[in-house]
Structure 1
Amino acid sequence: MTRRKKVVTVKEAPTEINLTEPQYYFNREISWLEFNNRVLHEAFDPRTPLLERLKFMAIFSSNLDEYFMVRVAALKEQVAAKVTRRSADGCTAQEQLELIGQRLRPMVAQQHRHFEQALRPQLAAKGVYLLDYIDLNQEQRRYLQTYFDEQIFPVLTPLAIDPGHPFPYISNLSLNLAVVIKDPANGEELFARVKVPRILPRFLPLPEDLRLQQKDVPAVWTAVPLEQVIAHNLESLFPGLTILEYYPFRITRDGDLEVAEDEADDLLLAIEQELRKRRFGGTIVRLEVHASMPEVVREMLRQEMDLGENDVYEVEGLLCLSDLFALTGLPLPELKDPVWRSALPPRLRRTIEGSSSLEIEDDFFAIIRKQDLMLHHPYESFSNTVQRFLTQAAHDPDVLAIKTTLYRTSGDSPIVDALITAAENGKQVSVLVELKARFDEENNINWARKLENVGVHVVYGLVGLKTHTKVMLVVRREEGRIRRYVHIGTGNYNPKTARLYTDIGLLSCRDELGADLTELFNYLTGYSRQQTYRKLLVAPVNLRDRMLALIHRESEHARNGLHARIVAKMNALVDPRMIVALYEASQAGVKVDLIVRGMCCLRPQLPGISENIRVVSIVGRFLEHSRILYFHNHGNEEVFIGSADWMTRNLDRRVEAVVPIDDPTIAKDLQEILGILLADNRQAWDLQADGHYIQRRPAVGVIEQSSQRTLMEMARQQ
């Protein structure tokens, strides 16, 4: 008898997924281009008022300028330095530059095609005419000829290019004309460059009696591009020569500063020197040319600027559409969003005795002592809350000290004026002015000097770190004791952007927050090595570890069969470690909703990886700038606001502050805001697993819900 062998089935161990593999990440540069594409879409959307569509078109172009000055310039530097490091999605710097060109060229072509074929005719139908010079009648040309002779010609400087005249310096973001000239004396062809001066309006308006008229539509505004007026009067610049042809072009230079902080004896002076270099410009990173420019002229420019073919962008129509911002100021309210006047939070209102009118409550300190106060800008007023709170503190005789950080503020800042008043009134005023706030360095240097001149203690931040946090501390003597009032926010102390950016702020006098901010300012201004805080989460000290711990806690709840949920709103999600933690949370069963306005390198909806993660981006009238974090925590919900995105630079190389919301009413209000944002079906875009975004559209019979309009209406009804 033959004995059968027993067959043993061995279960294979589950393959462990390496969540750091490139296939699980989007490229951050392409993700940013997708964000800018969503901005551009608002210029295409017929639901957007016409002049607002021009605004979005201008924003798209302005965003691209900064993108090339910073991001593309950095990639080109890596290529030149032969850096081999790859991005999280596995691309080299050169591969990323090629991907940028492939994605961006059709986008730019679409932008210009839409402006020429759709927006210009629609503007004309409303009495707004942006004409080409060749379409002008003789009377209009005579007017512009006189204007050229009197206003333009004196400021022009034609520059010849030949063996005796080397290729001229061309300033960053300047619009120029490449002019081909013939000398009739010997038949020689010559080349010259004429810069279009920035000190003159880009679009020259015609007087009312010369505006283009249509029989049924009165002309509101008629203008001609400045470069075309110059081009049709080039004979004045080159008398005795024959103008053969001219072609507009524009360049973009590396605009980032390189400051060796640890070697600088005086950071302010070092940054001033770098700013002077920026004015002269770094290396050229982009050349934009009109599509009509022949290959021989384009090649000459490209070689003189040491650019590759991938650095040249061909444009049909007008270059530099960021100048369309000028048209958004036209007096045509019916073509704009309705004017929004920020509301006053209910707790700051009081009824005037014997009247139904309301006035602003005067004593901020009394209001804050009763209960924490949340502010939501621009739905609620910045000038009548944060600005007024600081102004009151500057004049209050019981206020002993004011400390704040300034990352970006307006050119005519009432915030700075209030700080100066406080110093003049004998308060101890300390201000950390971040000199390295990109493209605001010069403005911040001016404010730093102005503050120092009145005795304010000004510091410029920490070596190797940008101070991005938005915090304010007011120290006040009350009935024989010291009480500290704090403002912690998600946005800059900038009254202008507070009308355009959505941000959250918290006013409180909780002892723990006051003590934490005191120690944070000691860290910023002195030699403190503070490693723990009572409430605050501070980068680069404890913010990353705490965020990871909160995500892991939700994962643990899900693995134990409990309901687990995360909702996080931010500007960008790039950091690989945070993304891995979110992938692990999804695999554990945590429901994750991410509201990410801009770059998102996480791939949602991947089976077995991120099927429980949904990513939505909201692009609308206001720039979504607030950061709000929600963790369900098995019913013991925790909500945070703060200045940090989930990017490596924010978590490791910047000073950031995130604060837990302990007031249950405010926590519920913030959860309501998150719910409204997630329900948006007008400005919301859903990120797909392949990297594409799909804009939500209400189904037939479903009411359109714009989160920003809903929040405006709620503020109005309060």
Structure 2
Amino acid sequence: MTRPAHIAHLADPDDDPFGPEASDRYFNRELSWLAFNRRVLEEACNPAHPLLERLRFLSISGSNLDEFFMVRVAGLKGQQLKEVDRRSADGLTAGQQLGAITEEADALMASQQAVWGDLRNALDEARLHVLRRDEVDAEATEWLETHFREQIFPILTPQALDPAHPFPFIPNKGLSVIFDLVRRSDKEPVRELVMLPVSAARFVRIPGEPARYVTIESILKRFAPLLFPGYEIGGAAAFRVLRDSDMEIDEEAEDLVRYFANAIKRRRRGRVIRLELETGMPEALAAVLKSELGKTDAIITESGNLLGIGDLDTIVDENRPDLKFPPYVPRFPERIREFGGDCFAAIRAKDIIVHHPYESFDVVLEYLKQAAIDPDVIAIKQTLYRAGKQPAVINALIAAAEAGKSVTAVVELRARFDEEQNIYWASALERAGVQVVYGFLEWKTHAKVSMVVRREGGKFRTYCHFGTGNYHPVTARIYTDLSFFTADARIGRDAAQLFNYVTGYVEPVDIAKVSLSPRDLRSDLLALIDTEIANVRAGLPGGVWAKMNSLVDPAIIDKLYEASGAGVEVELIIRGICCLRPGVPGMSENIRVKSVIGRFLEHSRIFAFGNGAALPNDGARVFISSADWMPRNFDRRVEYMLPIENPTVHDQVLDQVMVANLIDTEQSWELEPDGRYVRDEPGDKPFNLHRYFMINPSLSGRGAAIGASDAVPTLSLRRRR
């Protein structure tokens, strides 16, 4: 068995203590992520998308790559510098992974620049211009000079680079321009550095139509003589810095909030991980930057003529509806409407599943707002992982506390890049009288759970919301997620134990329905797959269908390989990282893996197991979860997995959401045994799952699907290759 082509050159099998089997059984996690980001970039080339949406995909690919370097590459660099003898599941050292990552990331960045060149030409044709240096006419030059003098010049601080002026600190994601100057008076060479403030707009729009943008760094270069009077401008070039943004946790920390506040400050000064140089930078200037910023073995790249591809999102905001997806307004769940907007009455009548973003996140807000003002509500408990900057959820919890209810909020301080916002919300909640808890020090609380305890007829009834996504009103409009509402008493008791586990370290006992990590989620999943193996060996049908963001965990992957060998049909929808190799004879020939990339970000986690049924809706077990199948989700996070047992909701999740993902042909990529992703051919009857859910009735409503060509067939245990 040979290694996949894209990692075959990375390690000598004779030097690999894992043996060649390790690299044959698993794809490398980091390279799989880079492959995902390349699929995102490919959407920027998709002619089916409007032009500014293509630019959005390019911007996302740039922001994604920045975060990858700031976290994942930074972690590997740390291992390498500390000489940590740890290998990836596929048998590679940190150094070998960094070598492969650098090669692939360089190719990806080159592709981003090429795509930007193509999109820039297309934007020109659409009368939306990002001007090149020679395209700025006299009138625009006059306006830009005034803008520079009034809006940019006052916030710039040039700094000489000489023995009396040490090289300044460049912040994370900092964009700067370095100049070689010659003083006219004595012909003395001078080197200057100008950092561009993060508060300054990256792209400056010239007033009028058509839309014309100019980058701030090109404006600085053009009007540098105004900043440096008495000097000749020799050379000038932009550069950008990415720093280590991961945070190590001190398990001895006594004040977690203060610790994280200080850690955020330290993160801004993390070691340089990547130094991006503008293409064509004079060698003398490049040498200075490499000497000053490359001391910690930073990865140095020439990144084209536009550094910071992620900043293109500014131009995406241009008011050109003709160049964007048609606006989509989510529906409010019909089940709630049927009860006059009374969330609790609707949930009491029947479990409800809500499908975001096709159905509005407002239903979650209404559930919390109603709880806040309902005199019969006694207590609210809520997890907050990423709540975003919009205060709707926070305001509802504050209103409940101010109304005299017992409110507990589990705020996760380690939600990466949201730490500062979460500290702010925690402070606001505490001031209002909310009991704020930060959970386990060594584990992140990633479960998305809300429970409301209400007095009804002299007794207490617990209402629960379990989500696959965050309580984040903004991402809920672009991420596909599920919200499950129930008043099932058994699930309510399980939810109460989950909260007690996080807030008081009280070990759950006699859990009825919910699986929890790091307690038993992995073992429960392994047992479910074992049941499918046993069913097939007993002559019964067997199948596993799972949808998630990432599949990394070796124990789960090995169990899926075992299931494939036993004849279990396994179909996986994995948007991002997949370390499992599908379709390999003798190991995974019964496993199919696909990735869906489209208008919305597929984020829901759904797991289904055939359970010996001839047809899944005759008895398959269906679960929703907050967890991907990764070691961190099983071992270092508090997560949940919940069975969906209400027959109506069960069929909605399985026969609608799951099947639509499985049969999508317009936004899907198939993972090949060698690690390549191949875009699906739409075929004679193309199916787009995002369009299907935008034009069809909500899961929580009534009515048949419309559009015969978009109808979703019943899921069968027979392969659909």
Amino acid at match of 1:623: L
1:184 deviation in Å? 3.5
Say which SS state the counterpart of residue 482 (structure 1) adopts. strand
**Residue 618 of structure 1: aligned partner:** 596
Structure 1 distance, partners of 2:60, 2:340, is: 38
CA contact (8 A) 1:564 1:632 kept: yes
Superposition map of 1:180-329 within 5 A: 180-208=180-208, 211=209, 219=210, 221-260=211-250, 262-279=251-268, 281-307=269-295, 311-329=299-317
2:407 pairs with 1:429: yes
Structure 2 distance, partners of 1:689, 1:35, is: 16
- Which string of whole-angstrom CA distances, capped at 9 and with x for unpartnered residues, describes residues 240-280 of structure 1? 121101001101000112220x211110110001111123x
1:18 deviation in Å? 9.7
- Which string of whole-angstrom CA distances, capped at 9 and with x for unpartnered residues, describes residues 92-144 of structure 1? 0011111011112122111111212x211211111111112332122211111
**Larger Rg belongs to:** 1
**Residue 7 of structure 2: aligned partner:** none
For residue 596 of structure 1, the aligned residue among 558, 574, 590 is 574
Amino acid at match of 2:353: M
Say which SS state the counterpart of residue 122 (structure 1) adopts. helix
Structure 2 distance, partners of 1:309, 1:430, is: 46
Structure 1 distance, partners of 2:183, 2:518, is: 65
Superposition map of 1:98-113 within 5 A: 98-113=99-114
CA contact (8 A) 1:98 1:310 kept: no
For residue 673 of structure 2, the aligned residue among 677, 689, 694 is 689
1:703 deviation in Å? 2.7
1:21 deviation in Å? 2.7
2:359 pairs with 1:380: yes
Structure 2 distance, partners of 1:686, 1:529, is: 42
1:327 deviation in Å? 1.4
For residue 417 of structure 2, the aligned residue among 399, 420, 439 is 439
1:559 deviation in Å? 1.6
CA contact (8 A) 1:433 1:460 kept: yes
**Residue 678 of structure 1: aligned partner:** 662
Say which SS state the counterpart of residue 715 (structure 1) adopts. coil
Which of 181-190 and 144-153 deviates more? 181-190
Amino acid at match of 1:709: R
- Which string of whole-angstrom CA distances, capped at 9 and with x for unpartnered residues, describes residues 325-356 of structure 1? 11122221111111111112221224xxxxxx
**Residue 96 of structure 1: aligned partner:** 97
1:233 deviation in Å? 1.2
CA contact (8 A) 1:133 1:229 kept: no
Amino acid at match of 1:692: R
1:297 deviation in Å? 2.1
Unaligned regions of 5+ residues in structure 2, if any?
1-17, 614-618, 704-721
Structure 1 distance, partners of 2:441, 2:390, is: 28
Structure 2 distance, partners of 1:95, 1:308, is: 18
Amino acid at match of 2:122: Q
For residue 451 of structure 2, the aligned residue among 466, 473, 476 is 473
Amino acid at match of 2:482: I
1:224 deviation in Å? 1.1
Amino acid at match of 1:232: R
Q: Measured at CA, do residues 561 and 435 of structure 1 come closer, stay the same or move farther in structure 2, by a change above 3 Å?
A: same
CA contact (8 A) 1:19 1:583 kept: no
Say which SS state the counterpart of residue 587 (structure 1) adopts. helix
1:406 deviation in Å? 0.2
Structure 2 distance, partners of 1:84, 1:453, is: 47
Q: Measured at CA, do residues 149 and 310 of structure 1 come closer, stay the same or move farther in structure 2, by a change above 3 Å?
A: closer
Superposition map of 1:454-493 within 5 A: 454-493=432-471
**Residue 216 of structure 1: aligned partner:** none
Say which SS state the counterpart of residue 446 (structure 1) adopts. helix
Structure 2 distance, partners of 1:200, 1:522, is: 46
2:610 pairs with 1:632: yes
Say which SS state the counterpart of residue 538 (structure 1) adopts. strand
Superposition map of 1:531-546 within 5 A: 531-546=509-524
Structure 2 distance, partners of 1:684, 1:250, is: 34
TM-score, with normalisation over the residues of structure 1? 0.92
**Residue 12 of structure 2: aligned partner:** none
1:198 deviation in Å? 2.3
1:532 deviation in Å? 4.4
Say which SS state the counterpart of residue 689 (structure 1) adopts. coil
CA contact (8 A) 1:408 1:444 kept: yes
Q: Measured at CA, do residues 343 and 248 of structure 1 come closer, stay the same or move farther in structure 2, by a change above 3 Å?
A: same
Paired residues, number: 677
Say which SS state the counterpart of residue 578 (structure 2) adopts. coil
1:408 deviation in Å? 0.3
- Which string of whole-angstrom CA distances, capped at 9 and with x for unpartnered residues, describes residues 531-583 of structure 1? 54110010011111100000111111112222100000000000100100000
CA contact (8 A) 1:532 1:542 kept: no
**Residue 14 of structure 2: aligned partner:** none
1:308 deviation in Å? 7.6
Structure 1 distance, partners of 2:529, 2:20, is: 16
For residue 693 of structure 2, the aligned residue among 680, 699, 711 is 711
CA contact (8 A) 2:185 2:230 kept: no
**Residue 654 of structure 1: aligned partner:** 637
**Residue 8 of structure 1: aligned partner:** none
Say which SS state the counterpart of residue 488 (structure 1) adopts. strand
Amino acid at match of 1:485: Y
Structure 2 distance, partners of 1:299, 1:640, is: 56
**Residue 336 of structure 2: aligned partner:** 348
**Residue 156 of structure 1: aligned partner:** 156
**Residue 9 of structure 1: aligned partner:** none
Unaligned regions of 5+ residues in structure 1, if any?
1-16, 212-218, 351-359
CA contact (8 A) 1:285 1:307 kept: no
CA contact (8 A) 1:55 1:328 kept: yes
Superposition map of 1:129-140 within 5 A: 129-140=129-140
For residue 667 of structure 1, the aligned residue among 645, 650, 653 is 650
Say which SS state the counterpart of residue 263 (structure 1) adopts. coil
**Residue 539 of structure 2: aligned partner:** 561
Structure 2 distance, partners of 1:390, 1:310, is: 47
Structure 2 distance, partners of 1:408, 1:137, is: 46
**Residue 356 of structure 1: aligned partner:** none
Structure 2 distance, partners of 1:169, 1:682, is: 47
Report the aligned-residue RMSD: 1.6
1:291 deviation in Å? 1.1
Say which SS state the counterpart of residue 696 (structure 2) adopts. helix
Structure 2 distance, partners of 1:482, 1:277, is: 47
Say which SS state the counterpart of residue 633 (structure 1) adopts. coil
Structure 2 distance, partners of 1:19, 1:296, is: 45
For residue 641 of structure 1, the aligned residue among 608, 624, 635 is 624
- Which string of whole-angstrom CA distances, capped at 9 and with x for unpartnered residues, describes residues 580-607 of structure 1? 0000000010000010000000000010
Q: Measured at CA, do residues 310 and 161 of structure 1 come closer, stay the same or move farther in structure 2, by a change above 3 Å?
A: closer
CA contact (8 A) 2:390 2:473 kept: no
Q: Measured at CA, do residues 318 and 418 of structure 1 come closer, stay the same or move farther in structure 2, by a change above 3 Å?
A: same
1:183 deviation in Å? 2.7
Say which SS state the counterpart of residue 461 (structure 1) adopts. coil
Amino acid at match of 1:299: A
Structure 1 distance, partners of 2:303, 2:686, is: 36
- Which string of whole-angstrom CA distances, capped at 9 and with x for unpartnered residues, describes residues 632-690 of structure 1? 01023100001000000000110001100010111111112111111111110000011
Amino acid at match of 1:363: D
Say which SS state the counterpart of residue 120 (structure 1) adopts. helix
